[in-house]
Amino acid sequence: MSYTGRFAPTPTGPLHTGSLIAAVASYCDARAAGGKWLLRMEDIDPPREMPGAADLILRQLHAYGLEWDGEVLFQHQRTEAYLAALEQLQEQGDVFWCCCSRTDLARLGTTAYPGTCRPFTSPRDDAAIRLRVPDRVIRFNDRLFGPQAENLQNSIGDVVLRRRDGLFAYQLAVVVDDAFQNITDVVRGADLLDNTARQIFLQEKLGLATPRYLHLPLMLHADGTKLSKQTFAPALPLPAEPVLLWQTLMFLGQKIPADLQHATPDRILHWAIRNWTPGDIPRQHGMSSLPA
């Protein structure tokens, strides 16, 4: 089976050094396998998006030598595919309409949705659409973190696929688009590890293939919080500073020679692809010398 990987940023702001970890790892994993590396812009939440962020992300990737295959897939153009998936799930009896607010759920004092609206299997106004999850354990093997198991009913309960405001949820869009792009391998941050069981279950209900998963250690601020747009991580500088690629590979446990610190992005990535060793990626999150 040929390898197809992807990088799927959300245009809520520019890429930062934390984003670079997922971009570089997914790129190297695909190229080292002789595979394709696709780019998807996950722009399904307009209220959170930053004007111009999508174009800036493309410029940043290009500047750091991370060239993708084919056309960029924009999720805002995929509405019909998401609706078709919801229609299939409705016909199968796998979804219901939920009018519970966050306040309602908070009063229950539980992290898992208790199935309050499960009887409502026909459309309702001002309602989210949830996927009914089973009382069974979903198992998968992560390439870095090893065997994983989760009972979705106990951990989170029924999963939202379309929000009350009509916007499609990440879980639905990512599953539909991974299948559409024939993704065989997903390489992404460990903050998404707990999304994987629900995505695998949704793939099962839609009759879609399940990719392999490799979740990566997270870069942290000094206070232990994840480096992210929400925690005001600065944008990757332009023009590119190639040393950031070198430092990213060091963070990923790759034994890149010191004399490549100030090489061009192309030279650094050429070395990284030829010497890519996923088994050397550390499991623990941590800080690095990259600017935070």
CATH number of the domain that residue 109 is part of: 3.40.50.620
Sign of CA dihedral 79, 84, 85, 90: positive
Residue 93 lies in a domain: yes
Regarding whether 90 and 71 lie in a shared domain, the answer is no
Cα–Cα dist 85/169, whole Å: 12
Residue 154 lies in a domain: yes
Residue 258 has pLDDT above 80, yes or no: yes
Q: Quickly state the pLDDT bin for 292 (edges 50, 70, 90).
A: very low
Q: Are residues 65 and 87 part of one domain?
A: no
Determine the Cα–Cα distance for residues 193 and 215; give it in Å rounded to an integer. Answer: 6
How many helices (H) and strands (E) would you count in the chain? 9, 10
| Cα R_g (the chain), whole angstroms | 20
Rounded CA separation 15/244 (Å): 13
**Residues 38, 97 share a domain:** no
Q: CA 54, CA 49: separation in Å to the nearest integer?
A: 9
Rounded CA gap, 187 and 26, in Å?
5
**Residues 27, 6: contact at Cβ < 8 Å?**
no
The residues near 188 (Cβ < 8 Å, ≥ 6 apart) are: 8, 22, 26, 213, 214, 215, 216
Closest CA to 145 of 189, 108, 175: 189
Write out the residue range of the structural domain in which residue 161 sits. 79-171
Task: Say what the pTM is.
Answer: 0.94
In this structure, is residue 36 part of a structural domain?
Answer: yes
**Could you tell me which residue, 31 or 111, shows the higher pLDDT?**
31
**Domain total in the chain:** 2
Regarding whether 189 and 54 lie in a shared domain, the answer is yes
More confidently predicted of 2 and 106: 2
- Nearest-CA neighbor of 167 among 129, 133, 194? 129
Is residue 32 domain-resident? yes
φ/ψ of 161, rounded to 5, equals -110, -30
pLDDT tens-digit map of 68-104: 999 999 999 999 999 999 999 999 999 999 999 888 8
The answer on 83 and 68 residing in a single domain is: no
